[in-house]
Amino acid sequence: MQVSVRNMAGETVSQIELRDDIFGLEPHQAVMHQAVLRQLANARLGTVDTKTRGEVSGGGRKPWRQKHTGRARQGSIRAPHWKGGGVVFGPHPRSYRMRMPRKMRRLALKSALSAKAAENSIILLDELVMESPSTKNMLALLDNLEVDSSALILLPERDENIEKSARNIPDVKTLHASCLNVIDLLTYDTLILPLKALQLIEQHLG
């Protein structure tokens, strides 16, 4: 698949061939869905906890005698039907972690990248460099690239100037190429990809 490479002024400077085994696949919807579920599940902390009747305070003795009171028999004031009593079948700390084979994880990423390529939503840059943090310059860059919706900027390495320039812009996110994930690919409309970041992706997924 032939894709144009542009500079920061938005001008086309060359053409590059994207690998069909990464950007030219038929998107696998089921695997992408499973990858999204896995990512959301693994982000859950699972620290919520409720106290059972054996954990709440009080209720050490029988509130009244068994018979001849005219009231229902009770064994503890901390039974579940009492105010301040224990919780029945409440949540307890647990792990929501889901596992997924590596080949399936990579297929999900390839499917998401292929979907972006099929929609012409990938913008390749020959380089992405800023001498100092500047939201104004980042907005000018997005305007030069004709980005009028949300955008995900992949970086080959940590770059504070670019990260700080983009973090105050709504619907724009910077991400290290090694941290690429299906949810971010599906969330943002446009993928801005410097050539160095593209090389990292091809090394990882190829």
Longest dimension (CA), the chain: 95
| ∠ CA 202-195-187, rounded to 5° | 75
pLDDT of residue 78: 95
Give the mean model confidence (pLDDT) for residues 115-119. 94
Question: Looking at residues 66-73, what average pLDDT do you find?
Answer: 95
Rounded to the nearest 10 degrees, what angle do helices 102-118 and 29-42 cross at?
Answer: 120
Are 56 and 78 in contact by the 8 Å Cβ rule? The answer is yes
Per-residue pLDDT tens over the stretch 142-198: 999 999 889 999 999 999 999 999 999 999 999 999 999 999 999 999 999 999 999
User: What pLDDT shows up at residue 170?
Assistant: 93
**Is residue 181 located within the same domain as residue 124?**
yes
Q: Are residues 174 and 199 in the same domain?
A: yes
Q: What are the tens digits of pLDDT across the range 9-39?
A: 989 899 999 999 999 999 999 999 999 999 9
The answer on 179 and 108 residing in a single domain is yes
Domain count, the chain: 2
- Mean pLDDT rounded to a whole number for the chain: 94
Q: Is the pTM of this model over 0.85?
A: no
Same domain for 162 and 90: no
Residues 85 and 121 in one domain: no
Angle subtended at Cα 95 by Cα 90 and Cα 98, rounded to the nearest 5 degrees: 130
Q: Which domain holds residue 59?
A: 49-95
Q: Looking at the structure, tell me whether residues 186 and 117 fall in a common domain.
A: yes
> Quick one: pLDDT at residue 152?
96
Say whether both 138 and 172 belong to one domain. Answer: yes
Q: Could you identify the residue written with the tokens 């990423």?
A: 109
CATH number of domain containing 114 = 3.40.1370.10
Asked which of 95, 114, 132 is the last residue of a domain, the reply is: 95
- Is the pLDDT at 1 greater than 90? The verdict is no
pLDDT, tens digit (0-9, with 9 covering 90-100), for 126-142 = 999 999 999 999 999 99
Chosen domain end from 78, 95, 112: 95
DSSP labels, 118-165:
HTT-EEEES----SS--HHHHHHHHHHTT--S-EEEEESS--HHHHHH
Say yes or no: 79 and 175 in one domain. no
Question: Are residues 170 and 106 part of one domain?
Answer: yes
